[in-house]
Structure 1
């Protein structure tokens, strides 16, 4: 039996049961009106700002529902099974892994799973030392700083590279021990490319069973990348002309078609947005144009793209 939870604005939970291809809709059961889903409201605000990522958003909402019912069962003196929340994030750069890690750290704090809910970001250099004994010490100190919060290790697969004399494996072994010694005191999230993370899990036989939650972050589509660019532009108080949007979309769509490995998605878009703003600044200084509309407007000629299929600068002077 599978349960799906949806939340209404009136603090009600609708439960829909699907079994043997039959749908039985159960009427919403009322919750004490004094009870509010404030953590959910905060979560929804953050989720609504994220472009795409529908499956990830569903999993995060599902996690909230589980945590909420978990607490309710505790209050009712019903059996609750201790759950490990260590996670694996798999996907290319710029697909929102760090953003979701921050969002989850706030959620775990708001739901009382973690007392602090702070996020410690780390990479290989933060764990691996240069001489014998240093790696274990650095890794233990990193975990100590993470207690009460979330330890997010990006490109975690790099710990499994370097050969037999490399200290990366020592870092992995130390992490596994720390996960056992500090059970329920922190949450570890390991992130990296999908294929490389599968290889990483084979480095230590105790790793796969310690990560019950795996989230896959797909690449964005061309239209989603354009939406991300438009959001970044709005956040910086700029606007793009229609021609600029068309030009940028064609370029982003071409990048998707090329399907280059490890495409950096949102990071690629952010770099282009920042470059557009610099190009616009150069143009405005050259044109001696500083009125409000000019200062806000990104035009097609501000997109310095090395692509002959795009509109030329003369198309929008």
Structure 2
């Protein structure tokens, strides 16, 4: 049986779409459709059910994918090892949220480029979780860091680390609020104050209020800027209150530039996931980066 047909079949099975599989394989959609039909004729069984949006594998299709995918991934690994021996540099494309990627992932991967015996060149893209996952699925990235676990067999997600959120303000605002007011009626007291956020929907403030106060904030953003590092800078200058990841504001807290207004017994957490296309960990440079980030993340929680 033609291995190219099986490779196309496994890609369609993981992608759930002829169109997406074509993009991953660098083929036209008619070519992918033709290869699947050829394989179905050879087997005498339908492998996919065509639907309005993508395809669903038949029981025979699922069985075949389960049997052949590990062997095709192993062949890919052999090929990639050979390529690594011929080329001294492999390029790794990573996507993720700008702050976390810049402050944590890229510094860790930069250590990999210095310390690893085989050189890795880095290319980073910033975007939302949805944008990063879509780019990964389309083959534009090798790794993606997201705050949402993607569904479906095309992508494989591994929990990377948890991020603690802290309600912070400048010392001037903290002094004006007073600890007594916070302990008596925290949410109403805070909602009278200016808020700094990354989006009009106040995603971090909403999550904090739901977890700590069991309520929804009746506020709107006074300053909205789409980068948490800029949010921190605005808070330091006294623009208002904000909810920030502890790793991002740890230095400012230590230096007294901002103050943590509350210390809840159960602080809000957000989980990051390290996502790859299923089967691509057979590529040594992707596998090394994946393992390296998981090791580094042990110290990030």
Higher relative CO (Cα under 8 Å, sequence separation at least 6) belongs to 2
TM bin, normalised by shorter chain, reads: under 0.3
TM-score when scaled to structure 2? 0.27
Larger strand proportion, structure 1 or 2?
2
